């Protein structure tokens, strides 16, 4: 394909981002709630399982949009929540920090536009 296809691909990805942004924000909120529950030693098994699944979904979708830092954070959260054992009480602050970093990445995607920069087809 020639370089005229680049804006079309970037535009399509931007439209997809806009369409799925509310769902991604909801997933980040789920991770924030699970982190808060963990920090307060009130994380239920159901909430932990939901957080692991949510983090897994976010890892995939953020990678699709070129947000590899977000993918890495989501994978770390998935790993922590998927552990055979409940996260240790002192992990709550770390989970909270990871969820906060994910939120910043999702919220700042429009300013950075990593997907459309440097695409060569």
pLDDT at 5: 53
Write out pLDDT tens, residues 80-121: 999 766 666 678 899 999 999 999 999 987 544 444 444 433
Q: Confirm whether 4 is domain-assigned.
A: no
Contacts 24+ apart (CB under 8 A), 31-35: 31/55, 31/58, 31/77, 31/95, 31/98, 31/99, 31/102, 32/96, 32/99, 32/100, 32/103, 34/81, 34/95, 34/99, 35/92, 35/95, 35/96, 35/98, 35/99
Print the domain residue range for 73.
43-110
Whole-number mean pLDDT of the chain?
84
Give domain status of residue 63, yes or no: yes
In this predicted structure, what is the pLDDT of residue 86?
Answer: 60
- Residue 117 is assigned to a structural domain of this protein: no
Tally of domains in the chain = 1
Task: Give domain status of residue 1, yes or no.
Answer: no
Nearest Cα residue to 31 out of 2, 8, 59 = 59
- Within a domain: residue 47? yes
Percent pLDDT > 70 in the chain is 79
Flag whether 119 is in a domain: no
């Amino acid at each position: 394909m020639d370089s005229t296809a680049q804006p079309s691909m970037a535009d399509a990805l931007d439209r997809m981002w806009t369409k799925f942004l509310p769902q991604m924000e909801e997933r980040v909120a789920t991770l924030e709630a699970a982190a808060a529950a963990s920090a307060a030693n009130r994380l239920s098994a159901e909430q932990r399982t939901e957080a692991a699944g949510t983090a897994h979904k976010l890892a995939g979708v953020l990678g699709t949009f070129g947000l590899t830092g977000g993918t890495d954070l989501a994978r770390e959260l998935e790993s922590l929540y998927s552990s055979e054992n409940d996260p240790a009480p002192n992990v709550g602050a770390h989970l909270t920090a990871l969820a906060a970093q994910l939120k910043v990445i999702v919220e700042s995607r429009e300013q950075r536009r990593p997907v459309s920069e440097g695409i060569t087809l």
